[in-house]
Amino acid sequence: MAFQTFAILFLSFWIYQEYQNNQYLQSYVNTSLQGTGLIALALTTITGFGVVAALLFSKLRRANRELEEVLSDETVRQAVTRPSGFLDQKTEQHLVELIRQSDPSKTQADSMPVLRHVDPEEEAKRPRP
C-alpha cells in the first residue's frame, strides 16, 4: 500500500511539473476542464475526505485490537490470581458447614436475633397464644 501511495504521489508530481512547463498541455487542460472544473474540485475534495476517513478507520481498528488484547490479558491475569468467588474454596466450604450446623430455631437468649420476612395477612390469620 505504501508503494502504491508513493507511485500515485510521484505521478501526480510529474504531471504537475509537466503542466507547469508545457504550454500545449496547459491549453489542453484549460479547454477540457472549463465546464468540469467544479466536478474535478468536488472529486478531489471527496477523495481527500475518503483518505482521511480510511486512515481514521484503520487507527480505530488498531486501537480496538490493542484494547481487546489488553482486556484479554487482564482477564487471564485475574482468573489466575483470584478465584471465581469472593473467598477461596476452603473458606467457602467452612462457611457452608457452619451455616448447615447452626439451627436458627435453637437460638439462645443472648445471641443475635434472626430477621425474617412476615406477611401481614398470614400474621393476622394465625391464632395468638
pLDDT given for residue 92 in this prediction: 78
Q: Are 66 and 72 in contact (CB under 8 A)?
A: no
Number of domains in the chain: 2
- Indicate whether 42 and 23 sit together in one domain: no
One domain for residues 28 and 47: no
Q: Are residues 1 and 28 in the same domain?
A: yes
Res. 55: pLDDT tops 90: yes
Q: Does residue 42 fall inside a structural domain?
A: yes
pTM of the complete model: 0.34
Residue 3 falls inside a structural domain:
yes
Q: Which three cell numbers stand for residue 24?
A: 500545449
pLDDT for the residue numbered 54? 92
Per-residue confidence (pLDDT) for residue 35, from 0 to 100: 67
CA–CA gap between residue 64 and residue 58 (Å, rounded):
10
Residues spanned by the domain of 71:
36-85
d(CA 129, CA 126): 10
CA end-to-end span of the chain: 90
